[in-house]
Chain A
């Protein structure tokens, strides 16, 4: 049974058609990645899934009492709002000291309990956001461009962590990303979005689809090469992309 089912969803914002006739199913335990160029409606689709935005047409059904662990793209904490990591992890529901320590350890952000959120580095901040989402005991982890601002090794480590967490909690994961090659390799299923669903399937299927190549143009070769390079051959040699 699917956790979240999106049927023929269209979204119009101030008369502009952002999403058109999107149909999508999310099954328990799968990692689904949404890729697409800027302005393709990725974030809008995520907001529909989160429940922040009602579709103009179509319908979204969520499993009853579904728990969503949402990791937003940015969380601008106002300088006037004092918020240490300890307190942040109890948002919105109170969590015990031990639960919080365990969550921080799981994401590799120990010894941060008493730091102010605004004092964390980009990578630490992302990990604390993830730890908070884990404390919700999510059925679905929702990540919006989770590795923005991280360098390439940093984001590779982050996606490894996501894969590990999925294996442990058996939660579904939905990610939005523009880092095609890294993300695609970590996904079970990829949806390529450009206002509508251009193509979807396994990472292999999508990266071979003509619609995908048309959208990403010159980038495709490199991303695909790297993808194959890392996962089909597993050896290392220099090539241009």
Chain B
């Protein structure tokens, strides 16, 4: 069954969608959308560095993403505005990454594959890696769910229950870095944030509780992946962007429906 590249692609995409959905909910609730973007863009720098040092791409991406997160939270504590800070770091990481890749002679780098993903080229080992990553991310989120939710509601409220809001923020950051490393092959660095945010946003209108929103986001993300792969075959379009288009269409439809139901 796994011999079929379409089935591998679908399984890989669904794995990423399932990991990204609950994490994406926190990204949306905590207004970290730009942070997700910055982490994903920094991944290109990670790719370049790992190629330069002939290390595993995954390790490079993880290290750079985590490093970026630490820098952002430190500078933020010194009172710099977060959105400005992220704007600077996100795009300079991407630019430095692209420049660094151009210095790599002798290595043929398919940059497009990292920017927009190459889901149809996913092999068995990629698939295993994606699912291990997805299980780790889901495990982290499930384990910290209540603490993360309390810290998201109010930092002082979390402190009153002996929950350290800074630690929870760090845990989210680590989960985000793992998700980016896992998702880069599926939708590419430029579109990872959309897989975090769009399914969560689409689920909002029909959810009464945080858990319901996370569950619905998983479902919406998975449907987007499967239908996106189908559509890209039918119309011969790039698969990663087509998946995101499907998610966006679902968002539009569900948002309109939920507004209509509320009258």
Contact = CB atoms under 8 A, between A and B. Distances in A.
Contact of B29 (A14, A75, A78, A114): A78
B157 A75 contact: yes
Interface stretch (B49-57, B113-121, B202-210, B240-248): B202-210
A92 B161 contact: yes
A70 B208 contact: no
A50 B160 contact: yes
B160 to A, nearest CB: 4
Given A80-B28, A82-B204, A83-B209, A51 B155 contact: no
B231 interface: no
Nearest to A138: B160
A70 B201 contact: no
Interface residues of A, number: 26
B146 A68 contact: no
A94 B31 CA distance: 26
A167 interface: no
A72 B201 CA distance: 28
A84 B157 CA distance: 18
Contacts of A92: 146-147, 149-150, 158, 161, 163
A91 B31 CA distance: 21
B154 interface: yes
B108 interface: no
Contacts of A91: 146, 149-150, 153, 157
16 contacts: A51-B162, A52-B165, A72-B154, A72-B156, A81-B210, A82-B204, A82-B209, A83-B153, A83-B210, A87-B209, A87-B211, A91-B150, A91-B157, A92-B150, A92-B158, A92-B161
